[in-house]
Structure 1
Amino acid sequence: MTTRKYKALVEQRTRETLDKWSGQQYVGEREIYRFLHNLKGTAGTVGLDRVERFASSTLLYFSDHSDKVWMEAEWREVLHPVLDLFSGEETSGSVPDPVLEISLSTGSKQQKYEILLVDDDVELVAFLRESLEQQSYYVNIAMSAERGLKLFYESRPDMILLDILLPDQSGIDVLHQIIGKAKKERIPIIIMSGEHSKDLQLYAYSLGVMDYMPKPVDIDLFLVLIKNRFELKKEWQKSIIIDELTGAYNRRYFNQTMKQLVSDFRRTERIFSLALLDLDYFKQINDTYGHLVGDEVLQAFSELVRSSIRVEDTFCRYGGEEFALFMPNTDAASALLVIERIQSQFAAMDFWAKQQQFRVTFSGGITEIRARRDDPEELIEDADQALYASKHAGRNQTTLYNEYLPAGKVEQVLKVIVVDDDALIRRIVVQQFREWEPANNLKMEVSSFENGAQFLQSEWYSPEDKFIILLDGIMPELDGLEVLKQLRSRYPEVNILVIMLTGRNNQQDIIHALQLGADDYIVKPFHLPEMLTRVERLAHRFLF
């Protein structure tokens, strides 16, 4: 059923494109080339074999680098025969409107890995995303190189699927910018392209891509390849204990060390202290100077700590900009002296970016194992509570845990906003969110607005909060795309995720929304469990 749906969708898009061109004085050769290139990959992937062969052979007559224009009589003679080829394929029944329906798993299966898909062919993207999510992968979409690079640095995907031909720059250019970091973090990159030249494949492999998959994509081979590569990645992760970026030990080694030290304490009563260290305002560094500069700060911090501790101490990257330090045979008061010395040295370090000098500090929290508090989770909670106290007191300081400290971190609350001119939709969605109990125990506050102007004019935004906005694509006066455009230009994207709610007749709006910075889309009419599951997935990536 899925394949038939996408066959019909490809036919619908092809007819609409040719109809649109019929109303133009001429069509640029580059536009025709891109149309045939996308048709070749998508048609072959969904099983439209005759259409794929036509697109492949016709593509030879056009160039992506030509400025030539084709008059209607010229391009019609070459392209219109493709329409007759659809009638022989399995697209029986009425052709559906151009809609990207996403079938989501609403069961208990957890997303195993996150995949970043960088490709501007909207039908192919939708088909691959649906196929991958049926296998319990989460798929992040970028329809341009610029968006792909942004998502690469922000979401830290587990795998990248990258097309060579993109609207703003080539996939090879993207490779040059990400391959070093991807190698360090062991993120597999798979090229998917209709360009099959041996020289291009050799060059891509020489840069460090893991696989080069030609379009049209054989979906069965594709899914097996993805599974195979993730199994290999899992084996890598099992064998690795060092965080490649910072040189500190990783989270896996943190867990091993905690287990070993706790077991040793229960057997010998040999104490140890645990310090959690978190860089202050680190997101502002990334936002202001870029993620590469942020990486340099993390590396400098790690190098300083590792050069300041004993051989028997264990320094780990706990997650993001948060680190952990185990100090065996050390009580909390002695550990505090060590951390405060490192704190003073780090705060005096100068960093340079964009011809500006800046400094960075960190906050710390320390706890010491004791007989009535020797559970690993409790130790982490205590150190985390002490860390929160340092943050709350003004940062750039370290706090020792005691039972009289104020409660730990304020529970994160995600604000969900529904913007839709359909009163019934708003009422149903808001009610569902208020009754919902997500799997990750996430607390939510839900509000709604009946149109985009009312939403933008309200005092909805606060810089300390996180937002997921469900935004209707078509609304009176101010449509969803214009609202999205204003959101991305006026507010920091790091605090706001946008899910477009789209109707069945606005495929172009989906493309534009993704290009403007929408994080996801859901097609109306939608099933509420599907919507809730997608929001939960985004929220987990957003907050944790």
Structure 2
Amino acid sequence: MTTRKYKELVEQRTRQTLETWSGQQSVGEREIYRFLHNLKGTAGTVGLDRVERFAGSALLYFSDHSDKVWLEAEWREVLYPLLGLFGGDDSAGAVPDPVHDISLSNGESQQKYEILLIEDDVELVAFLRESLERHSYYVNIAMSAERGLKLFYESRPDMILLDILLPDQSGIDVLHQIIGKATQERIPIIIISGEHSKDIQLYAYSLGVMDYVSKPVDIDLFLMLIKNRFELKKEWQKSIIIDELTGAYNRKFFNQTMKQLVSDFRRTERTFSLALLDLDHFKQINDTYGHLVGDEVLQTFSELVRGSIRVEDTFCRYGGEEFALFMPNTPAASALTVIERIQRQFADMEFQAKHELFHVTFSGGITEIRASRDNPEELIEDADQALYASKHAGRNQTTLYDDYLPVGKAEKVLKVIMVDDDALIRKIVVKQFMDWKPANISRVEVSGYESGVKFLQSGWYSADDKYIVLLDGIMPELDGLEVLEQLRSSYPEENLLVVMLTGRNDQQDIIHALQMGADDYIIKPFHLPELLMRVERLVHRFLF
């Protein structure tokens, strides 16, 4: 369906609504408000910019909390000028065609730097996010120290912007908790504060912050500072091949080693084995004992492996709690002996946290290069399939790849749910996500609901699945914030991401949603590429 078709549908629905009201004695003010609210979001999304601006202005005449009724002569005077705004060119420019002009990422989204903003000044948060995202940075918002620490450990941002004064604890306290890991992982920290004390600034610099920016912020200088610091970070990354947390080589060195060993095999037929190793139930460790204990487990595991292999072997952190081991001149059967010995040693180790002792295990998958499978992607796929077979068989074991492994890798299904009482917006968004193919997700299932009540009563949830809920802020029967409250109180956060879609201009409502547990928000009218980009970024840090 083209953009023109969507515009025609908006016009048709608008005319039908006004015609229906013309046959009534009066219309409730709430009903008019909801009509204009939906029209504003929909018109802006499909490129009817003049209609969107008119609807936004007309909203000022009406309230969602009023019981007043409007006679036809009253509402007609306000609303009928709408009909003359359809057709012709929109001076503010058109939105890209929802189907043909939008380039879906299909797993190849352009990498953008992620900034974690820990700040409770409502207006400054909105201003900085808008300014930074206009320059293609992605901004995660935390309105409290507690939320900031959670997002820091979960999303591993590329930069942190931190206020000194926060509602639950000071920014200096936050610094003490994150500076070690941020320094290890070369994450720049910039303080933004109205506190101009020289002593505070000296202390912040002594702890390891990179910059201290005083409020009020000169946005032009600030954006140039951000750009400068990311250029510096890019140079750091070029020279780094060691994962600072674990001491193993990083993914960059993994790719270099794979390329070198495959090239050597093709030239000399010198064999090698690749093992993928994944810690079992690692997320449960983080959730139960905290991320610092999780880091200790990763470090201990890395030390054990590095102390158990030969000089010519290469041990890499492949991602998160997954590691890779290259073993040159080693057939798969010999590699299995090595991995199983490490497996027994690691399972016997004791960790202590919260006055408890606990054990951790890992699962492994091994493949050996051969003439029929000498492509790097194929080798990784084979080792990954063998690793999955170990997980499927009960974990704490290692499987050798062969062509007869009975189980393929489990499908990773992501369910996207659109909850919005605007049928046209629902239709547009659902259609877009049906064509969306994010990286590392086997299948995306999309559904839509016209109200929060129908959504919550639909039996939508399964503990085995992951969800992204796109939730309109203003809906009949149950407000979007009320739906959000029920979602956060009734379902595990790790299975559910919530993006609020709102036409409200009141920043306090947006901040309220973030404080209640929304993962992000989009202001209506939104452009579909923006929505897709933000959702894809959230999926990137979604743990499967």
TM-score, normalised to structure 1, is 0.77
The Cα offsets for residues 321-375 of structure 1, whole Å up to 9 and x where unpaired, read as: 0000111111000000111111111112222222222211111000111122211
Task: Name the CA shift for 1:350/1:490 in 2 (closer, same or farther; >3 Å).
Answer: farther
**Separation (CA, whole Å) in 1 of partners of 2:123 and 2:290:** 32
Residue 70 (structure 1) aligns with:
none
Quote the residue 2:111 is aligned against: 111
1:218 and 2:226 equivalent?
Answer: no
Residues 340 and 444 (structure 1 numbering): CA distance in 2 closer, same or farther, change over 3 Å?
same
Residue 262 (structure 2) aligns with: 262
**Partner residue, 1:286:** 286
**Greater relative contact order, per chain length (Cα 8 Å cut-off, separation 6+):** 2
**Contact preservation (8 Å) 1:147, 1:517:** no
2:356 aligned partner: 356
Aligned to 1:144: 144
Could you tell me which residue of structure 1 aligns to residue 313 of structure 2?
313
- The CA distance in 1 between the partners of 2:375 and 2:502, in whole Å, is 49
Q: Is the Cα contact below 8 Å between 1:364 and 1:387 reproduced in 2?
A: yes
Farther-moved stretch of structure 1 (208-217 vs 433-442): 433-442
Deviates most, 368-377 or 185-194: 368-377
CA contact (8 A) 2:122 2:508 kept: no
Q: Does 2:189 match 1:189?
A: yes
**CA offset digits 1:211-252 (Å, max 9, x no partner):** 111122122221121111111112112222211111111111
For 1:490, the equivalent position in structure 2 comes to 490
Indicate the SS of the match to 2:336: helix
- Give the aligned length: 446
The whole-number CA distance in structure 1 between the counterparts of 2:162 and 2:343 is 42
Q: 1:187, 1:171 → 2: CA distance?
A: 16
For 1:373 and 1:146, locate their aligned partners in 2 and report how far apart those are by CA, in whole Å.
Answer: 48
Following superposition, the deviation at residue 437 of structure 1 comes to 5.3
**Partners of 2:352 and 2:58 in 1: CA distance:** 58
1:152, CA displacement in angstroms? 0.2
Q: Measured at CA, do residues 264 and 432 of structure 1 come closer, stay the same or move farther in structure 2, by a change above 3 Å? A: closer
Superposed displacement of residue 292, structure 1: 0.9
| 2:78 aligned partner | none
Taking a change above 3 Å as real, the CA distance of residues 355 and 440 of structure 1, as seen in their structure-2 partners, is closer
Residues 439 and 383 (structure 1), Cα distance of their counterparts in 2 relative to 1, 3 Å cut: closer
Task: Return the alpha-carbon distance in structure 1 between the equivalents of residues 117 and 530 of structure 2.
Answer: 21
* Distance in structure 2 (CA, Å) of the matches to 1:96 and 1:450: 22
Deviations 1:20-77 (A, max 9, x none): xxxxxxxxxxxxxxxxxxxxxxxxxxxxxxxxxxxxxxxxxxxxxxxxxxxxxxxxxx
Is the CA contact 1:111–1:137 (under 8 Å) kept in the aligned structure 2? no
Give the corresponding residue for 1:448: 448
Counterpart of 1:412 in structure 2 is: 412
**Residue pairs, 1:109-258, within 5 angstroms:** 110-258=110-258
Deviation (angstroms), 1:96: 11
TM-score (norm 2): 0.77
Give the whole-Å Cα distance in 2 for the aligned partners of 1:450 and 1:297.
46
Q: Deviations over 1:308-330 (max 9, x none)?
A: 11121111100000000111111
SS at match of 2:147: helix
Unaligned runs of 5+ in 2: 1-56, 61-94, 97-101
Aligned pairs (5 A) from 1:377-526:
377-406=377-406, 408-436=408-436, 443-526=443-526
- Deviation (angstroms), 1:124: 1.8
Please tell me whether the aligned partners of residues 191 and 209 of structure 1 are also in contact (alpha carbons under 8 angstroms). Answer: yes
Q: CA RMSD in A?
A: 2.4
- 1:337 pairs with 2:337: yes
Structure 2 distance, partners of 1:279, 1:443, is: 25
- Distance (whole Å) between structure 1 residues aligned to residue 130 and residue 215 of structure 2: 17
Inter-partner Cα distance in structure 1 for 2:362 and 2:441: 29
Give the CA deviation at 1:477.
3.6
2:283 maps to a residue whose letter is K
Counterparts of 1:95 and 1:185, CA distance in 2: 51
